[in-house]
A and B are shown apart, each in its own frame.
Chain A
Amino acid sequence: MPDAGGRLAVRKTYKLYVGGAFPRSESGRSYEVTDAKGRFLANAALASRKDVRDAVVAARKAFPGWAGRTAYNRGQILYRIAEMLEGRRDQFVSEISAAEGLSARKAEPYVDAAIDRWVWYAGWADKIAQVHGNANPVAGPFFNLSSPEPTGVVGIVAPQKGPLLGLVSVLAPAIVTGNTAVVLASEQHPLPAITLAEVLATSDLPGGVVNVLTGRPAETAPWLASHMDVNAIDLAGVDNPALAADLERAAAENLKRVIRPAPTPDWRADPGAGRLTAFLETKTVWHPKGA
């Protein structure tokens, strides 16, 4: 359909985001994404088991480098994501309006909150070790220090509602501490997640730190939950309690750290530090003191 000026718009192809690139699903499949009134918006990639596995490989490969960055550098990059998102504010407002059937005025606070959330978590990068670490006064001549370290590769089933703010609220706390992530985007509203991937790709975030798959979580989440090279999983977007329990059982095979879905999450509320610490390990180092 021509725009008002008579020009035919150049539409975007929505693909996956894996290892810093935007491939189609290896399965060649796609599915129709519609707006709140059921009108066609785009064909999104319908990710497969193989895409999940490729994404985990990319996330694992990126993990040592990302975890090894200084906390200051990770904070800088998260802040850069906020800057890039701010520059695309109008685009996200219109995408979210279309997806959720909101007026622009109602969508704006969610986009603003998502931008601010990146800023909030960016600041945590070089503070979490001070807040969550500890010098331990052991009863002996030993240096004894506990520090948080990232858990590893985190699988995230993004919230089905809140395609931007919900996604940012579960993604930012996972990666700011040095984890890498494989995200299964909202099934019904996947497009903002892929547009967010474009933001991530232009924010100096190394490829593979965040990988975004669109499609049907009921199909892909079991592969993510049972993958032996995934260390943790956030089930925020699993609305079906029976599926959530199945995924938690599958996650037990390699003792993944699990965040269970909350009944009615309010993504605008103060997020607290819980999602940061859920995917952190505490390492305690001992060394004798002596002359």
Chain B
Amino acid sequence: MAFEYAPAPESASIVDIRASYGLFINGEFVDSADGSPFKTVNPASEQVLAEIAEAGPTDVDRAVAAARAAYQKTWGPMPGAERAKYLYRIARIIQERSRELAVLESIDNGKPIRESRDVDLPLVAAHFFYYAGWADKLEYAGLGPQPRPLGVAAQVIPWNFPLLMLAWKIAPALACGNTVVLKPAETTPLSALAFAEICQQADLPPGVVNIVTGAGATGQALVEHQDVDKVAFTGSTDVGRAIARSVAGSRKKVTLELGGKAANVVFDDAALDQAVEGIVNGIFFNQGHVCCAGSRLLVQESGYDELLAKLKRRMSLLRVGDPLDKNTDIGAINSSAQLERIRTLSQIGESEGAARWTAPCPLPERGYWFAPTLFTGVSQAHRIAREEIFGPVLSVLTFRTPAEAVEKANNTPYGLSAGVWTEKGSRILWMADRLRAGVIWANTFNKFDPTSPFGGYKESGYGREGGRHGLEAYLA
């Protein structure tokens, strides 16, 4: 039976969104010299939230120059213990303002407040805390006797976890003594601009963190800038490829965290109720806008009927709607363009012969929404089994033996993550050895921690973020 819920909205009054935002260069907000402003909208209401400056090549140039100067004059020479204290300050301010930032994130991104409040923001603060402590201990990291910063880091992040991806990029870069120019995604710039204010509150020296807003052209100008030493990108595999090409022959060090098509493998001896929770979390967390989402469910044939029945029942209880409502499980799709992509690929799933089932749930009239959907009868050749949909769409395939599960799970150019559900310990370890992916979640899914390295095999990119390994990306 479905429970009736009274709406329990988080108040939006905690955030103060300005009508327009400039670029954050050399410690202050400045107007753009050569860009045309764009608008960021609330995907749950389609209302314009603010007008954002677009950084053109001149602006990018200014930001890189500010970062270079800060690297040479203040941040580079600063003792690690002092850098650490700035990062601890930032972590503390994030904790102090975490509710405000969570609400802001949900408004600009569309993700449920339950997730921005309970997952994104605690991880953001934890990430700064974790890397703060490394700043004066780098020679103990096992990365050589004299680790040195690289210089100026160009960082481009996606819209699915705006502030968390910022933390993953900025915290290790600064801890290692680099300065940064970061470009947030064009549909979710607000939390990065709030972070710029936090840098001001922390008295972070000017130029150490610069935020340039804009779309693909701004990102391209940034990663191709002659005076950056390091490029870090999280986003699609296609853009990652273009970046890898554009830095060819240069001195720039590159790390790429790209797409995924993770297999979530469920054996017939799995604890089914827990597995169902894990499958739902694996694909519907953050509307499925997760590069490591468990978007290919591989079910052992002998357990298929029982699992599918439980899964559909659970999916029917998911609540789609107002991101600021604390009852909401699935928020808004981040943009109309992304919604269109999800719709198109779902249509292709049907036309290629897979059977579509959509959870019966009401959707709000305005905004961008997509009900939780699963496809059965999916073959490995279907596009919905091969391409990253980046939405709340699950493809279900089956297998008989562990060897077949491994074969199917690895049959993808991606290799970011994978899941295994079984009560047999030796089988977990056997599977974990054979799955070609950077993160293996066994009897759990979509868990993240600043101490735990994250990143892909194959076309899911290279380099690791998080943990001791995450330092390597920012040290010579």
Which A residues form the contact surface with B (CB < 8 A)? 131-132, 134, 136-140, 142, 144, 146, 151-152, 231, 241-242, 244-246, 248-249, 251-255, 257, 260, 272, 277, 281-288
| Chain B residues packing against A (C-beta within 8 Å) | 126, 142, 144, 237, 240-242, 244-245, 248-249, 256, 258, 413, 415, 428, 432, 437-444, 447, 449, 451-455, 457-462, 464, 467-469, 472
13 A–B contacts from the bound complex (CB under 8 Å): A134-B468, A136-B467, A139-B451, A142-B449, A144-B451, A152-B458, A253-B241, A254-B459, A277-B472, A281-B457, A286-B439, A287-B428, A287-B442
Given contacts A140-B449, A255-B237, contact A249 B443 (CB under 8 A): no
Since A142-B447, A282-B464 are in contact, a sample of 12 more A-B pairs with Cβ atoms closer than 8 Å, ordered by chain A residue number, is A131-B142, A137-B451, A138-B451, A142-B449, A151-B457, A242-B249, A252-B241, A254-B413, A255-B256, A255-B458, A260-B249, A286-B447
| Contacting pair B440 A248 (CB below 8 A) | no
Nearest A-chain residue to B415, judged by Cβ: A281
* Residue contact B428 to A286, C-beta cutoff 8 Å: no
B453 touches A134 (CB 8 A): yes
Q: Would you call A144 and B455 a contact (CB within 8 A)?
A: no
When chains A and B are docked, how far (Å) is the Cα of A254 from the Cα of B456?
13
Where chain A touches its partner, the secondary structure class is mixed
Given contacts A255-B459, A255-B461, A286-B439, contact A249 B453 (CB under 8 A): no
Within the assembled complex, what's the spacing in Å between the Cα atoms of A208 and B447? Answer: 38
A-B contact count (CB 8 A): 110
Minimal Cβ-Cβ distance residue in B for A131:
B142
With contacts A257-B462, A281-B438, A283-B437 known, is A146 near B248, CB below 8 A? no
Neighbouring A residues of B442 by C-beta, 8 Å:
285-287
Instruction: Give which listed residue, A146, A152, A248, A281, contacts B452 with CB less than 8 A.
Output: A146
Candidate in A151, A244, A254, A283 with the most chain B CB atoms within 10 angstroms:
A283
**Would you call A282 and B245 a contact (CB within 8 A)?**
no
CB-based contact A139/B144 at 8 Å: no
How far is the CB of B218 from the nearest CB of chain A, in Å?
21
Once the chains are docked, how many angstroms separate the CA of A152 from the CA of B436? Answer: 10
Chain A: minimal CB distance from B440 (Å)? 5
Q: Which residues of A contact B415 (CB under 8 A)?
A: 281
- A249-B248, A283-B438, A286-B441 given as contacts; is B467 within 8 A of A146 (CB)? yes
Which residue of A is nearest B437, CB measured?
A283
Q: Least Cβ distance of A13 to chain B in Å?
A: 38
**Which B-chain residue is minimally distant from A143 (CB atoms)?**
B442
Residues of the B chain whose Cβ atoms lie less than 8 Å from the Cβ of A151: 457
Q: Are A255 and B245 in contact (CB under 8 A)?
A: no
Asked if B126 contacts A284 (CB within 8 A), the reply is no
Contacts of B438 in A (CB 8 A): 281-284
CB–CB B469/A282 < 8 A: yes
On whether the beta carbons of B249 and A144 are closer than 8 Å, the reply is no
Q: How far is the CA of A139 from the CA of B130 in the complex (A)?
A: 11
Q: With A137-B451, A252-B248, A286-B442 in contact, is A146–B469 under 8 Å at CB?
A: yes
Report the bound CA distance from A286 to B240 in whole Å: 27
Residue of B nearest to A231 (CB): B458
